Amino acid sequence: MPTGVAIHDVREQLFDAAERVLLRDGPNALTSRAVTTEAGCAKGVLHRHFADFDTFLAELVLDRIGRLDQQAAVLGELTGQGTVVDNLAGALTDLFESVALVILGLVTSRDELRARLRATTPVGIPVLTEAGAVFAAYLTAERAAGRIAADADVDTLALTLIGTGHLLFAGRVGAPPGAEEVRRVVASVVAGVVREE
C-alpha cells in the first residue's frame, strides 16, 4: 500500500488478515510479514498499532474470544425452543467450524501467547474455557426452564461437550463431521439429564 494512504479499521483488517493466514496456512505460517502482506500494507503498520507481534497475537485471540458473546446471545435466545440436543449440536458446530480451531492451534503452539492470555483466562485453554462458560450458561437456563434435570451438573456437561466437540472436529482431513454425527455425540453426552426429548 502506498505511503500516505489512510487505512480504515486497521486493527480489524490486520486481525482478518491473520485469520485468513491461519485458516489457509496454519499457525506456523503466521508472522508479522505474512499478516501485513495478506492485509496489503507495509510491515510498519502492524508495529505502529501494536507494541510487538506477541501483543498483536494476544489481542487477536481476545478479539475472537469476544465474539463468543454473540454466540452466547444466540444460544440464550434458543432457551425453551426447539430441542436442547439440536440447540447444543448447532452451537457446537458453529463454534468449531469457525476460526476457533485455528485460534486454538495458535494458542497451543506459542508459549509466550499462552502466558499473556493467563491474565484473562487463568485456567484452562483460552477460547475453550470461554466457550465452556457459554454452554454452561445455556444449560443453566434450560435447567431453570425445566428442560434439563434440576440436579444436572451443567458445568461438567459444558466441559464435556466442549472437549468432545474439540476432539470431533480437530485434526480431520477432509470434511468436518456431519450434522447427524454431531447430534449423536451431543445426545449421548446429555442423555441422562434432558427432560423434553
What is the predicted pLDDT for the residue at 68?
84
User: Which pLDDT band, with edges at 50, 70 and 90, does 126 fall under?
Assistant: confident
What is the predicted pLDDT for the residue at 3?
46
Which has the higher per-residue pLDDT, 167 or 123?
167
User: Whole-number mean pLDDT of the chain?
Assistant: 89
Grid cell of 103 as nine digits: 485460534
What is the predicted pLDDT for the residue at 5?
42
Phi-psi region of 146 (alpha: psi -120 to 50; beta: other; left: phi over 0): left
Chain centre to alpha carbon of residue 2:
35
Third-level CATH fold of 10-49: Arc Repressor Mutant, subunit A (1.10.10)
Q: How do residues 1-12 score in pLDDT, each as one tens digit?
A: 444 444 558 999
Domain boundaries, the chain: 10-49, 65-190
Tracing cell 486493527 back to the chain, one arrives at 11
Q: How do residues 96-122 score in pLDDT, each as one tens digit?
A: 887 778 888 888 888 888 888 888 888
Q: Using alpha carbons, select from 150, 179, 155 the residue that is nearest to residue 85.
A: 179
CATH 1.10.20 fits 65-190, yes or no: no
What is the predicted pLDDT for the residue at 88?
97
Q: Using alpha carbons, select from 160, 12, 170 the residue that is nearest to residue 104.
A: 170
Phi-psi region of 188 (alpha: psi -120 to 50; beta: other; left: phi over 0): alpha
What is the predicted pLDDT for the residue at 84?
97
Return all residues near 158 (Cβ < 8 A) that are at least 6 apart. 132, 133, 134, 135, 136, 139
Backbone angles phi, psi at 158, to 5 degrees: -60, -45
pLDDT mean over 48-66: 91
